[in-house]
């Protein structure tokens, strides 16, 4: 099946000017200023006046729903597949959060497989907030090695809800993930929920400085809670992930601060914490309210970064495309528009709103209308 996208202004994410893109099944097979193609059946889309950008990657999504801190009735809902593509997200990394009692790694893997069947690309992380990590196989190392969708482990640090993992235990966990990554050919991430606790990133920095575990395996998220530590960690060569929120303007301000403070911009990413709980705590660490993360926050923050903060589109897009793909070691298959890359792309209108979305070459959204749904979604 061929699709020819004509006259798009391409950001790959670097600005390439007006280009035609030819898709065949799930790949981009040609990109040039002019493509004349008439072999067999081909769908032609005129993208005049639109910008073509890579499909967005959200590496922190509670695909099963998060929450549970406010009793059973506070469990957040599962990720809705149609909302994912509606918001331009074509690749997700799913994980558990605080609650690994009423949700399991088995369910997480099943949901991840379902999202792949629905037509996007989905990975997952074993583990949860606590240590020892909950797993499917009984071993973090085995989960990462043998579960094809599993690319690492989730853990919480510097948070009053964590298991107070010691520096030695965290180092051992990272060593296990590194070994599994070598066995399986995966990136092997230790994805760390970072709270606003006293330790900050001190444990991780100590491991990087005093052991032989490469810094690339450590991935702190929610880094706005420990901004100074995050800047120091990024300047050591580590990736840092900033969580965006429903307040797109504030999220854009936070991302601009990171872009200003961190020398290597490629080490900066952002994610939505979609479907995760957003509890509000008082000074006694008592929960006084709860919100729910939305996958719509991801691109809205980038749009605000461009329109409100004056950051160039080609400088803002990498935070949810190429930077994330490089960090997950799936670049250039993901995170860019190039020949032989996956046909994950988004067309933006003149106001930088999402108009059309392709995931692995399949048309998911057209003229702002969702065309793809999960099995029971419609």
- Higher-confidence position of 56 and 289: 56
Q: What residues does each domain of the chain span?
A: 2-53+336-370, 55-327
> At residue 195, does pLDDT exceed 70?
yes
The C-alpha atoms of residue 136 and residue 175 are separated, in whole angstroms, by 19
Which SS3 state, helix, strand or coil, does residue 343 take?
A: coil
Q: What is the pLDDT of residue 279?
A: 67
pLDDT in tens, 2-47: 999 999 999 999 999 999 999 999 999 999 999 998 877 899 999 9
Of 178, 47, 173, 153, residue with least CA distance to 100: 153
Q: What is the pLDDT of residue 368?
A: 97
Which DSSP string corresponds to 269-324?
A: EEE--BT-EEEEE-TTS-EEEEEE--TTHHHHHHHHHHHTT---HHHHGGGGTHHH
pLDDT in tens, 53-67: 999 999 999 999 987
User: Do the Cβ atoms of 69 and 161 come closer than 8 Å?
Assistant: yes
Place of tokens 């996958």: 295
The C-alpha atoms of residue 8 and residue 55 are separated, in whole angstroms, by 15
Q: What is the pLDDT of residue 283?
A: 82
User: Do the Cβ atoms of 142 and 153 come closer than 8 Å?
Assistant: no
Q: What is the pLDDT of residue 292?
A: 80
Whether the domain at 2-53+336-370 and the domain at 55-327 fall into the same CATH topology: no
Q: What is the pLDDT of residue 2?
A: 94
Q: What is the pLDDT of residue 161?
A: 84
Averaged pLDDT for residues 192-212:
96
Q: What is the pLDDT of residue 293?
A: 86
Average pLDDT, the chain: 95
Q: What is the pLDDT of residue 3?
A: 96
* Beta carbons within 8 Å of 260's beta carbon, 6+ residues apart: none
Confidence of residue 281 (pLDDT cuts 50, 70, 90): low
User: Do the Cβ atoms of 66 and 98 come closer than 8 Å?
Assistant: yes
Measured between alpha carbons, how far is residue 373 from residues 62, 127, 201, 227 in Å? 19, 29, 40, 38
> At residue 287, does pLDDT exceed 90?
no
Annotate 193-253 with three-state secondary structure.
Answer: EECCCCCCCHHHHHHHHHCCCCHHHEEEECHHHHHHHHHHHHHCCCCEEEECCCCHHHHHH
Phi, psi of 205 (to 5 degrees): -65, -35
- Higher-confidence position of 378 and 85: 85
pLDDT in tens, 6-16: 999 999 999 99
Of 87, 329, 117, residue with least CA distance to 219: 329
> At residue 109, does pLDDT exceed 70?
yes
Active site residue ranges: 273
2-53+336-370, CATH topology level: Urease, subunit C; domain 1 (2.30.40)
User: Do the Cβ atoms of 360 and 121 come closer than 8 Å?
Assistant: yes
> At residue 286, does pLDDT exceed 90?
no
Q: What is the pLDDT of residue 73?
A: 79
Measured between alpha carbons, how far is residue 365 from residues 78, 289, 298, 347, 373 in Å? 21, 35, 17, 10, 10
Please provide the CATH number assigned to the domain covering 55-327. Answer: 3.20.20.140
User: Do the Cβ atoms of 65 and 99 come closer than 8 Å?
Assistant: no
The C-alpha atoms of residue 141 and residue 148 are separated, in whole angstroms, by 13
**Has this prediction a pTM greater than 0.85?**
yes
As to burial, measured by CB atoms within 10 angstroms (0-12 exposed, 13-18 middle, 19+ buried), residue 175 is middle
């Amino acid at each position: 099946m061929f699709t020819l996208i004509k006259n798009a202004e391409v950001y790959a994410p670097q600005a390439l000017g007006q280009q035609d893109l030819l898709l065949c099944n799930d790949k981009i097979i040609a990109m040039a200023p002019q493509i004349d193609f008439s072999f067999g059946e081909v769908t032609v889309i005129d993208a005049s006046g639109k910008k073509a950008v890579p499909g967005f990657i959200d590496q922190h999504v509670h695909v099963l729903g998060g929450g549970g801190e406010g009793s059973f009735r506070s469990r957040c809902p599962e990720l809705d597949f149609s909302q994912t593509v509606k918001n331009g997200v074509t690749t997700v990394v799913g994980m558990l959060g605080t609650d690994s009692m009423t949700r399991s790694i088995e369910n997480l893997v099943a949901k991840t497989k379902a999202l792949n069947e629905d037509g996007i690309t989905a990975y997952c992380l074993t583990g949860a907030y606590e240590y020892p990590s909950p797993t499917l196989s009984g071993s973090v190392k085995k989960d990462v090695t043998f579960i094809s969708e599993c690319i690492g482990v989730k853990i919480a640090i510097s948070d009053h809800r964590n298991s107070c993992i010691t520096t030695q235990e965290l180092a051992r966990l990272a060593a296990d993930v590194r070994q599994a990554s070598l066995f399986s050919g995966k990136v092997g991430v230790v994805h760390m929920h970072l709270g606003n606790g006293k330790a900050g990133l001190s444990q991780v920095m100590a491991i990087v400085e005093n052991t032989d575990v490469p810094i690339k395996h450590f991935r702190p998220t929610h880094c706005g809670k420990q901004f100074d530590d995050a800047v120091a960690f990024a300047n050591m060569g580590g990736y840092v992930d900033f969580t965006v929120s429903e307040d797109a303007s504030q999220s854009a301000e936070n991302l601009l601060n990171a872009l200003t403070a961190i020398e290597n911009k490629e080490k900066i990413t952002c994610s939505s914490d979609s479907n995760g709980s957003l509890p509000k705590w008082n000074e006694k660490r008592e929960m006084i309210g709860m919100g729910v993360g939305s996958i719509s926050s991801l691109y809205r923050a980038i749009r605000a970064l461009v329109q409100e903060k004056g950051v160039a589109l080609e400088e803002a897009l990498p935070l949810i495309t190429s930077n994330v793909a490089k960090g997950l070691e799936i670049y250039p298959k993901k995170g860019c528009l190039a020949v032989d890359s996956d046909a994950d792309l988004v067309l933006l209108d003149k106001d930088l709103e999402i108009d059309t979305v392709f995931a692995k070459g399949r048309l998911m959204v057209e003229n702002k209308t969702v065309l793809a749904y999960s099995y029971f979604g419609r």
